[in-house]
Amino acid sequence: MSDVFYGSDFSELESTDPEIAGVLLDELTRLRSGVQLIASENFTSPAVLTALGSTLSNKYAEGYPGKRYYGGCEVVDVAETIGINRAKELFGADHANLQPHSGASANIAVFGAFMKPGDTFLAMALPHGGHLTHGAGVSYSGKWFNPVHYGVAEGTEDIDYDQLRALAREHKPKMIVAGGSAIPRLIDFKAIREIADEVGAIMHVDAAHFIGLVAGKAIPSPVPYADVVSFTTHKVLRGPRSGMIVCKEEHAAAIDKAVFPMMQGGPMMHVVAAKAVALKECATPEYQKYAKDVIVNAQALTQGLIEEGMRAVTGGTDTHLALLDLQGIGVTGKDAEARCGASGIVLNKNSIPYDPQPAAVTSGIRVGTPSTTTQGMGVDEMKSIASLIGRAVKSDSASEHATVKAEVLELVTKFPAYPRG
């Protein structure tokens, strides 16, 4: 058996390790057979996969271009320098660090650059759409630092800026963190900058979810306002699974020292090169159209789900993701995720603000359109997907799930994740 595996000689792997070759094929089949609606995932380009599968993986390059602790770095220096320049240009940033291994690693470095253990910071509460690394008790950020959490207002379900300001005045945090993993609306960066200035805090935006929309000029950028912006590179941005930081020049040395040597050792130069490739792709008119289409599709999908009887948290979305409250149709997020999974629709259960259910059950689901938009789907397909989700979620019949799954397969076959070679 053979298939297209970009950037590598797959026949070599098939002969030396058929078990792992089989896993690669199975995952490709899984991607091609379902609708992928995880808001934090996407399909990288063949060019990104080629850089990831390259011999740059072999190189130790502790340090930064021109200042390494190993010989033989003159070639990888070129990749990292190109990537840094592309990031600065794309985001209009003074400084960029491409070495964080992930979004969590990037955030550890930001914490290390600006705070000491025990220091107080303000961030969005996880159950209201924040992130584990923003002070959850199970994370280093909650164990080693003193988090104070703001949330969303009960009526609007949007960030409660009055609460944020009051908490900032009361606790005088070292840092204010904006961003999260389930925020469907745009964040008022100017308001947070003003609050940070009033209390003398560093403003850190964790833009992991929406930085791709910023790169595509589809939504406003946090870069002019924030001291530092951290993000992952594999969501809407459509790069390799990794992280990145951009910041003001005055923080450049602190950020670089915090990434290496404080928090990380050798950078993964194949991933750094893949990030550079993705950044070049993001600077194209095609990508800018993609970013806008992601939002149009998310809005169409959300509207379709509202018509299926689900309630959109905040009433809709300005971004690539939506949170749907299922209490009105009497299904938990856990059951909805499982029923969709049985129907070839991949999404995740998600707490909604003020959720009466525990995090392992939840009252909601989160959907996102980065992957389906990369596949070339549009508003008509979003309407079809909303109807398929409605049927899957509202039924506990295995035969109905099998019927929906067959229809899902018919739909996605017209929009292959990775065309067969």
Residues that bind ligand DSN (CB under 6 A): 40, 103, 131, 181
Catalytic residue of the set 3, 6, 50, 62: 62
Is residue 232 annotated as part of the catalytic site, yes or no? yes
Catalytic residue of the set 3, 41, 50, 60: 60
Tell me how far, at minimum, the Cβ of 132 lies from ligand DSN, in Å: 7
Tell me how far, at minimum, the Cβ of 48 lies from ligand DSN, in Å: 19
Reported in sequence order, the residue ranges of 28-104 that DSSP labels E, i.e. its strands, are 35-36, 63-64, 67-68, 95-97
Tell me how far, at minimum, the Cβ of 384 lies from ligand DSN, in Å: 24
Is residue 281 annotated as part of the catalytic site, yes or no? no
Peptide bond into 261 cis (omega under 30): yes
Q: Cβ-count burial of 377 within 10 angstroms (0-12 exposed, 13-18 middle, 19+ buried)?
A: buried
Q: Please give the distance of CA 358 from its chain centroid, rounded to a whole number.
A: 23
| Sheet containing 175-178, strands listed edge to edge, beginning at the edge strand earlier in sequence | 95-97, 243-247, 228-232, 202-206, 175-178, 120-124, 146-150
Tokens of 237: 């941005």
* Closer to ligand DSN by Cβ: residue 40 or 374: 40
Is residue 337 annotated as part of the catalytic site, yes or no? no
Q: Which 3-state string (H, E, C) describes 117-175? A: CCCEEEEECHHHCCCHHHCCCCCHHHHCCEEEEECECCCCCCECHHHHHHHHHHHCCCE
What is the rounded radius of gyration, in angstroms, for the C-alpha atoms of the chain?
22
* Closer to ligand DSN by Cβ: residue 103 or 142: 103
* Closer to ligand DSN by Cβ: residue 73 or 352: 352
Tokens of 2: 């053979």
What φ, ψ does residue 330 adopt, rounded to 5°? Answer: 70, 35
CA distances, 206 to each of 102, 233, 344 (Å): 12, 12, 31
Q: Measuring CA to CA, which residue among 367, 297, 378, 295 is closest to residue 326?
A: 367
Tell me how far, at minimum, the Cβ of 407 lies from ligand DSN, in Å: 26
Catalytic residue of the set 133, 232, 362, 369: 232
Tell me how far, at minimum, the Cβ of 232 lies from ligand DSN, in Å: 7
* Closer to ligand DSN by Cβ: residue 42 or 363: 42
Tell me how far, at minimum, the Cβ of 419 lies from ligand DSN, in Å: 27
* Closer to ligand DSN by Cβ: residue 126 or 269: 126
Catalytic residue of the set 193, 235, 366, 405: 235
Is residue 206 annotated as part of the catalytic site, yes or no? yes
* Closer to ligand DSN by Cβ: residue 34 or 103: 103
Catalytic residue of the set 206, 308, 325, 355: 206
Supply the residues annotated as catalytic. 60, 62, 206, 232, 235, 241
